[in-house]
Amino acid sequence: MRESKFLNLPLVLLSSIVCPFITSCGAVTDSEDKQLSQVRVTDFESAHIPSFIEAFNADITLVKNGVDSQGLQVSFSNSHASSGINLVPSAPWNTSELGNNALMFDIQNTGVTPVMLSTNVKGLSDAVQRRTIGLDVGEKTTLYFELKGLDLNVDTGLRDTPPTFDSPARKMILRGGKVNADFSDVYDISIYTETQINLTQVVLDNVRFETTPTPNADYLNKIVDAYGQRNDVEFDLKVTSDAQLKARADEELKQLAQSKGWPERSKFGGWRSGPKLNATGYFRTEKVSGQWAMVDPQGYLFFSSGIANARMANTSTFTGVDYKDDSVRYIDPNDVTPEDSQAIGGNYTKAQKTAYIANEQRHNMFEWLPDYNSPLAEHYGYRRESHMGPIEHGEVFSFYQANLERRYGESSPKSYIDQWRQVTLDRMNDWGFTSFGNWTDASFYNNNQVPYFANGWIIGDFKTLSSGFDYWGAMPDPFDQEFVRRAHITTAVIAEEVQNNPWCIGVFIDNEMSWGGQGKPIQRYGIVFDALTKTPSDSPTKDVFSQMLKDKYGNIDALATAWHRDINSWAELDNGLDYKMDTEFSEAMLSDFSWLLERYADEYFKVVKQAVADVLPNHMYMGARFTSWGTSPEARWSAKKYADVISYNYYREGLDQVTWGFLEELDMPTIIGEFHIGSTDTGQPNPGIIHAPNQKTRADMYETYMDTVIDNPYLVGAHWFQYIDSPITGRAHDGENYNVGFVTTTDIPYPHLIKSAKKVHQSLYQRRYGQQAPQK
């Protein structure tokens, strides 16, 4: 007899209840006098699929799920943006009597490839929480989606936490942040996949809401050991002593010293065995036999396979301690480097005398932190601000950097950093990567061993606009002369760091900006909507927009007629028009919004391109790394006019035709600036944006993603994000605690991932260009 994962409640009892359409009939109790412990959604044992289940872009059918039971087989599509099922009852499922509870369902991956599954639950006030999970081929398990429980609506500063209770069921992982919501009534459940590249299939059974076990109030206490690893999780690469750490370092150094490199590669990593094109002494792009390609300084075809974020800046995590000394929080208004890109360390001896525990929950997460008079205390730092989380500013510590000192020792001040830098270069060459990705530490810029991309942000006190979804911050006003001035300041600093080095492929400026996306007009044209609410004196963009409309329409009546709006004078337009709550728009109005948005985007890319060209004339401008969630078509068409390469950060299992079909029309060399796959089997509470069930599958999925990039004629590279695993307790900037590194927090490479990287790179150029001859 199978049993529920949480209760000693036989699931055969559920199968005997024939009431798949009436919510109240699914209530199950251990006895008449005990608290309700389960609310059944369906067990699929009836002759027909329940009427409240609807498929979208998926095929569903009832199948045998064991000897005496039945389940719902869901076959997902790989030719749609999303595919799955919605469960929408005629009246909401009520979970108020369950106490702490979770949505649970049994599942088996019956397909031939891994599947990443998403689940959305809609509660009161239309609040929707999303969770995801990666299932291996053949994996059969029970998943739970916690709806009420300990710390569920508390911001711990982690992107997700370890489970708060013991259970053999698998916890689904938070996606998109916590939603502080009431799920005592559940109105909708969606179980689905997104933009898959493979056809996948699962069998669902026994969907229910169930009371969860008593939580452990100390579930976050001392979860991190002295090496920054999970205390309560064992895995193959876990380090237990300094001696073991040094031994593993020595073993790797010996292996790297014996590495033979890649003899078919040119000096700059291009394809020496392939055709030789015009050599300019710097990297450039060219279309070769219908495929876009980079060309290295010697004229060889080049494909940028790289790892991003090879730097210390994002390895620090808040300790829960802060200083009363206000001087540590001073930010120079002339800084060109955002806080999350600042180096770790500094002299905080004076400030440390004023230290106090500002966040006890976070401080208790650590089994060990060094005393301030310890040699490892130099790995403390301070963050003056954070992007999100319960800690606005405070002391940070880098376990990764401390582990480098433990691995390599310190023969001279910070010699372990020099050793790390050389080991990193040797790894890139040994693993077959042709370049670094974005966010490469500037100390690598003149290494003359591995090509790289320089990077910078345009920050400062210029005017901004909101797209309505400003995840990383508001959008700049590119018509503001202060923005123009700051753009030139930023690129001048980058040029000084690069020093016209031919190993620099190009320059990324800014990142994942909120241009707007597909969907309702307010989602796509949010920047225009916001600008229209302002006055020309408050917004240089509004000033430009007003003049454009005056020049086009000539008189206010023509504009009012075209837009189907009551606008009585140009002064009324200048004083601000707020259409953010409107839902109906004329074709002319939407056409004008698209026109205005493209003019805005044109100005941004023109300003940045000019700033780059003025001081880095020999290096490509790589754009601002668009996202799938915040990039309007107008933005990419503007980028085409000014960027040498268009860049996207794309977190999926690979490149699919549904999403990337626009590249044929755009016809621009394009690069993936970020992607990753992670797992939870090494103790990271959150695997990352794309999930694998284990390290082996993670490596296989890396190969699959890279193959889809290499085979795309418009893609000229892809960069894995990132080099190092996030801290267990979250990076200080925003709490990301992902297993997305090629190396652990103890600087040990992941063997499966390294093996897959070498496999991909062994055939990289033959697969991409092997059958191509250059067209003259």
Interval 214-226: pLDDT, tens:
999 999 999 999 9
Query: Does residue 576 have a pLDDT over 80?
Result: yes
pLDDT-derived band of residue 608, with 50, 70 and 90 as boundaries? very high
How far apart are the C-alpha atoms of 135 and 348, rounded to whole Å?
Answer: 46
How far apart are the C-alpha atoms of 601 and 594, rounded to whole Å?
Answer: 10
Query: Does residue 12 have a pLDDT over 90?
Result: no
How far apart are the C-alpha atoms of 212 and 603, rounded to whole Å?
Answer: 54
Quote the pLDDT of residue 640: 97
Mean pLDDT lowest among 97-101, 518-522, 551-555, 612-616: 518-522
Write the DSSP symbol of residue 681: T
Backbone angles phi and psi of 311, in degrees to 5:
-160, 165
Which helix (H) or strand (E) segment holds residue 496: the answer is helix 481-498
Of 49, 55, 52, nearest in space to 70 by CA: 49
Supply angle C-alpha 239, 243, 248, rounded to 5: 65
How far apart are the C-alpha atoms of 485 and 19, rounded to whole Å?
Answer: 69
Write the DSSP symbol of residue 99: S
pLDDT-derived band of residue 630, with 50, 70 and 90 as boundaries? confident
Query: Does residue 13 have a pLDDT over 70?
Result: no
Backbone angles phi and psi of 52, in degrees to 5:
-85, 5
In this structure, are residues 529 and 579 in contact, taking their beta carbons and an 8 Å threshold?
yes
In this structure, are residues 450 and 433 in contact, taking their beta carbons and an 8 Å threshold?
yes
How far apart are the C-alpha atoms of 473 and 424, rounded to whole Å?
Answer: 32
Backbone angles phi and psi of 408, in degrees to 5:
-110, -10
Query: Does residue 17 have a pLDDT over 80?
Result: no
How far apart are the C-alpha atoms of 408 and 412, rounded to whole Å?
Answer: 11
Query: Half-sphere exposure of 39 toward its Cβ, with a 13 Å CA cutoff?
Result: 20
Quote the pLDDT of residue 208: 98
How far apart are the C-alpha atoms of 648 and 508, rounded to whole Å?
Answer: 11
Query: Does residue 62 have a pLDDT over 90?
Result: yes
Question: Using only C-alpha atoms, what is the Rg of the chain?
Answer: 28
Mean pLDDT of 174-178: 88
pLDDT-derived band of residue 705, with 50, 70 and 90 as boundaries? very high
Quote the pLDDT of residue 770: 85
Beta-sheet strand order (sheet of 128-135) = 53-56, 82-87, 188-194, 115-122, 128-135, 173-174
The structure tokens listed for 602 are: 């044109």
Q: What contacts 707, CB < 8 A, 6 or more positions away?
A: 654, 760, 767
How far apart are the C-alpha atoms of 450 and 306, rounded to whole Å?
Answer: 10
- In single-letter form, the type of residue at position 72 comes to L
Strands (DSSP E) contained in 418-465 are: 435-436, 452-456, 464-465
pLDDT-derived band of residue 469, with 50, 70 and 90 as boundaries? confident
Domain 11-211: state its class.
mainly beta
0.85 surpassed by pTM: yes
In this structure, are residues 316 and 381 in contact, taking their beta carbons and an 8 Å threshold?
yes
Mean pLDDT of 267-273: 96
Mean pLDDT lowest among 237-241, 257-261, 506-510, 561-565: 257-261
In this structure, are residues 607 and 509 in contact, taking their beta carbons and an 8 Å threshold?
no
Longest alpha-carbon distance in the chain: 85
Quote the pLDDT of residue 27: 42
Which helix (H) or strand (E) segment holds residue 664: the answer is helix 662-666
Pairing state of beta strands 115-122 and 128-135?
antiparallel
- In single-letter form, the type of residue at position 714 comes to Y
Query: Does residue 96 have a pLDDT over 80?
Result: yes
Write the DSSP symbol of residue 9: -
Mean pLDDT of 163-182: 93
Query: Does residue 30 have a pLDDT over 60?
Result: no
Quote the pLDDT of residue 771: 59
Mean pLDDT of 405-419: 95
Q: What is the mean pLDDT of the chain?
A: 93
Say how many C-beta atoms besides its own lie within 10 A of residue 672's C-beta: 27
Quote the pLDDT of residue 445: 96
